[in-house]
Structure 1
Amino acid sequence: MALSLHHLVVDAHDLPALARFWCRVLEWRVLSEKEREVIIGPSAEAGTGICFMPVTDAKSVKNRLHFDLAPDDQEAEVARLLALGARRLDIGQGGGRSWVVLQDPEGNEFCVLKPRRNLIAFAD
């Protein structure tokens, strides 16, 4: 059986606003916008995207899944993301870590990693 990841689904209160934030973060674009879903991705031909779906309840706990972003320049990227509307977040990670924890405008956590100079090969 062939299987591939199609979308990561993110619950949101303001679908268009959160989708546009992540489009700016990832330099992606809106691929589909409907009343109850907004889908973004790098292109219409890309195999995987992010789908934003509506929820009415408020976020109350740490995400069980989050994005790790790998920039060329961590400091510059954190500054860019803060300018786009992200906020710093302390989840008890302590100092000296190789990542910076941020949250998007709706409070979803994500990390900005230090640059990865060498690609890591994952073995199966």
Structure 2
Amino acid sequence: MTSLISHTTVDCANAYELSEWWKQVLGYVDVPGDPNLPGHEECMILDPDSGHAVLFIEVPDVKAGKNRLHFDLRPRTGTRDEELARLLGIGATQVADLRDTHGPGTGWVVLADPEGNEFCTLRSRAEAEAPPAEV
């Protein structure tokens, strides 16, 4: 017997606001028939294609220290750097720039959402599968 992951849960201070922000990042939607509204202490969003769910739950604790678990995001279209610009434009904060860490055109950027939860943006599949740039 094994288990499967039902959904990913993010503890937060404001479930509605953070779920709305992450909907912009991921292209997720509210659960059909169960819209998220201001004041809701639990807000779930879904990927309309895969059904993956992320649940935001309000907790009294403040985030302290580095996340032990985080999202690694890959652009659905475009490049890592284009996605980075979009994420910064909607309110992400850059924490660390690890682009080119393992050679030209490699690496990722560590960002934080509006409540300080860290996540990374990676190269697109096309960028990752492209032959290395000649130096």
TM-aligned CA deviation for residue 46 of structure 1:
4.8
CA contact (8 A) 2:99 2:108 kept: no
Percent sequence identity over aligned pairs: 39
Amino acid at match of 1:86: A
Gaps of 5+ in 2: 102-106, 130-135
Partner amino acid, structure 2, of 1:53: I
The alignment's C-alpha RMSD in Å is 2.0
Rounded Cα–Cα distance in structure 2 between residues aligned with 1:52 and 1:94? 28
Give the gaps of 5 or more residues in structure 1. Answer: 119-124
Offset of residue 70 of structure 1: 1.0
Which residue identity does 2:28 align to in structure 1?
W
How do 1:1-124 residues align onto structure 2 when only pairs under 5 Å count?
1=1, 3-31=3-31, 32=34, 33=36, 35-43=40-48, 46-71=50-75, 72-90=78-96, 96-97=100-101, 98-117=107-126, 118=129
TM-score by length of 1: 0.82
Question: TM-score scaled by structure 2?
Answer: 0.76
Cα offset, 1:79, TM superposition: 0.5
Counterparts of 2:123 and 2:99, CA distance in 1? 14
- Identify, as 1 or 2, the structure richer in strand: 1
How many pairs align? 115
- Tell me which structure has the larger Cα radius of gyration: 2
